[in-house]
Amino acid sequence: MIESKTAPNTHELYNTVGHEHLDALVYWALGDFPDSGINLVECENGKWFVKVDHGDDYDHLEGIARPNVSPLTEPTFFSTEDAAREFAYKCIRMVHPELIEVDFDAYYSDDD
């Protein structure tokens, strides 16, 4: 755990090189912008993790980087993007149980 009075910069802390905002995916599935969102984040070392981007609906879930919750706990790191994405989907479904049956992968092939 890392004690902090201000939200740590997880991009610097974990040497990130890219991220995807998954709130757009939730918007696509719900038809409404969510109160809270998570990011799928890639690190320079090839590892991946999931991070709260805004809101607090995901703050109770283990394994997610929650920079606005003190003390900061280490997120679960995944060796592949696919594994991290599946974990993110699981987290989204925990916060939005109405999306349990939604095929999130269809979002990436949707032409609309």
The sign one gets for the Cα dihedral 102, 107, 109, 112 is: positive
pTM comes to 0.89
What is the mean pLDDT for each group of 10 consecutive residues in the chain (112 residues)?
66 94 96 96 98 95 91 93 98 98 90 56
Residue 67's pLDDT is 86
> Long-range pairs for 7-13 at CB < 8 Å and ≥24 separation?
7/67, 7/68, 8/67, 8/72, 9/67, 10/41, 10/51, 10/65, 10/67, 11/41
Per-residue confidence (pLDDT) for residue 33, from 0 to 100: 95
Distances (CA, A) of 94 to 16, 46, 70, 84: 26, 26, 22, 15
